[in-house]
Structure 1
């Protein structure tokens, strides 16, 4: 009888230890930068998701400050701390190999969120949670092309050139333009995702006397900057069509009041939930898809009130 009690106690104790391990999962999160508007919503949504989980998931956020070397150092620190999983929003999508190698060598699950590495042949234990940026560019340009009745000139505000979101959104725009030979690209330059940079570029183009019928921006912040430059120059609202991507609160307000013609909703909450869920499942050795896609949705004046 005593032996049975001893075994039962041991089994119960092992179950409690196992449960405690899963109840205290620690996930290291390296964000490319904290001061990006949309990435702030992503980070906040990740924090909310972790706090709402019954397993008591703890996130350790680090700001890479757009520095590839700093981000790799953060990941190496997570490895030395023996975290249960790592989530990375990469600074440079072409420079993720060392991050991947560090996590894989340590046997720690790795989730890339929002930005997919350029190297799509990721090893076992490494997954991505993102949205298809090619579709975002296609959606915004198709809407503009129809509004422009297939003719006119556009300018393109590019995001960070080290980010394949910039490359793919712009590629999507140009794929649509291939079907509209009478729509020409007047200018394209990088505003590195920033409102003030978008404003400066559009102001410079206006000062140079350049004419254009639409501004296609890789994100809402640059689109809003373009709108501000046009307003300051006395250009009638709506006479130059402006498109963005993200569907941030400021972007939604701009569409609602007519300062932007269209945006494309990038679901920060969806990507946050997807990345945390995947990291937790991988830490528990549960199966996950290697590529989790969170769909984009078009935002127009007709449906803007659906997005909160």
Structure 2
């Protein structure tokens, strides 16, 4: 009888210990920047996901303010606080080596979210949760190319050049263009993900007298800026086709109104849920995939109402 009681007590203590571990779980999150529109939705969705756990999971958010050194310092601070896991949205996808090494050395699980590091050979204990940016560029350009009848001139609004999201989305666009030799790139320049910068660039090109039939933007914010510049210049809506990426609420509204012809939905909630779920599982020593891919989806006037 005493043995049975002892086993029962052990089982209960393990159960309570497990529950306490989850209730006390703390995850440090370093975001590349707080004032990016899409990343705000990602951050808010991560917070909602953390609060959805029965006992709650505490997130400590830090803003790297687009500073690589600041982000590394934030990760080192998380390590000194002995957090259970770390989630990083990298400032520069080519500068993640020190972050990876620090987390691995400390034995703390690390999840890169939204932006996959350039180093594809990540060690054990490091996972990425993202969407395949190459597909986003391919999807938007394929749709545009068909609407353009396979001919015309385009301009490309690039995101932040420090991010491989910019590189891969643009690479996807150019891969599609190899099938359409009569579509030419008239200009390409970085608008660093910004609506104001996208607007300024397109306004400058119009002032210079440049002619183009479509604007291919690495995100919705720059695409909306392009639409605003064209409207201010008196260009008839729809005469220059505009494509974005992200499917933000403003982007969806722009597709509805016809300011954008097309966008590609990047699932902020899917990436947020995936990153927090993965971090929690790793902290509990549960098995996870080395890379979690959240699919992109095309947004057009015909299906825009199905997105939220």
Within a 5 Å distance, the mapping from 1:242-281 to structure 2 comes to: 242-281=242-281
Within a 5 Å distance, the mapping from 1:72-151 to structure 2 comes to: 72-151=72-151
Instruction: Classify 1:23/1:236 alpha carbon distance in 2 versus 1 (closer, same or farther; 3 Å).
Output: same
CA contact 1:38–1:248 (8 Å) conserved in 2: yes
Residue 167 of structure 1 and its aligned partner are, at CA, apart by 0.1
Summarize deviations over 1:219-255 as a string: whole Å, max 9, x none.
0000000000000000000000000000000001101
Match of 2:65 in 1: 65
CA separation in 2, counterparts of 1:264 and 1:181?
A: 24
CA separation in 1, counterparts of 2:242 and 2:108?
A: 43
Could you say what the CA RMSD is over the residues aligned between the two structures, in angstroms?
A: 1.3
Match of 1:166 in 2: 166
Instruction: Classify 1:304/1:11 alpha carbon distance in 2 versus 1 (closer, same or farther; 3 Å).
Output: closer
CA separation in 2, counterparts of 1:67 and 1:209?
A: 37
TM-score (normalised: structure 1): 0.97
Q: Which runs of 5+ in 2 are unaligned?
A: none
Within a 5 Å distance, the mapping from 1:1-308 to structure 2 comes to: 9=9, 12-308=12-308
CA separation in 2, counterparts of 1:275 and 1:11?
A: 31
Instruction: Classify 1:251/1:11 alpha carbon distance in 2 versus 1 (closer, same or farther; 3 Å).
Output: closer
CA contact 1:91–1:163 (8 Å) conserved in 2: yes
CA separation in 1, counterparts of 2:182 and 2:14?
A: 71
CA separation in 2, counterparts of 1:225 and 1:2?
A: 74
Summarize deviations over 1:97-117 as a string: whole Å, max 9, x none.
000001000100000000000
Q: Give the total of aligned pairs.
A: 308
CA separation in 2, counterparts of 1:104 and 1:163?
A: 23
TM-score (normalised: structure 2): 0.97
CA separation in 2, counterparts of 1:283 and 1:84?
A: 6
CA separation in 2, counterparts of 1:207 and 1:190?
A: 18
With 265-274 and 17-26 compared, the bigger mean Cα shift is at 17-26
CA contact 1:254–1:260 (8 Å) conserved in 2: yes
Summarize deviations over 1:38-83 as a string: whole Å, max 9, x none.
0000000000011011141110000000000000000000000110
Instruction: Classify 1:8/1:261 alpha carbon distance in 2 versus 1 (closer, same or farther; 3 Å).
Output: closer
Summarize deviations over 1:131-180 as a string: whole Å, max 9, x none.
00000000000000001001100000000000000000000000000110
CA separation in 2, counterparts of 1:223 and 1:260?
A: 7
CA separation in 2, counterparts of 1:276 and 1:250?
A: 26
Instruction: Classify 1:6/1:175 alpha carbon distance in 2 versus 1 (closer, same or farther; 3 Å).
Output: closer
CA contact 1:25–1:55 (8 Å) conserved in 2: no
With 10-19 and 227-236 compared, the bigger mean Cα shift is at 10-19
Residue 19 of structure 1 and its aligned partner are, at CA, apart by 2.4
Residue 2 of structure 1 and its aligned partner are, at CA, apart by 7.0
Summarize deviations over 1:182-233 as a string: whole Å, max 9, x none.
0000000000000000000000000000000000000000000000000000
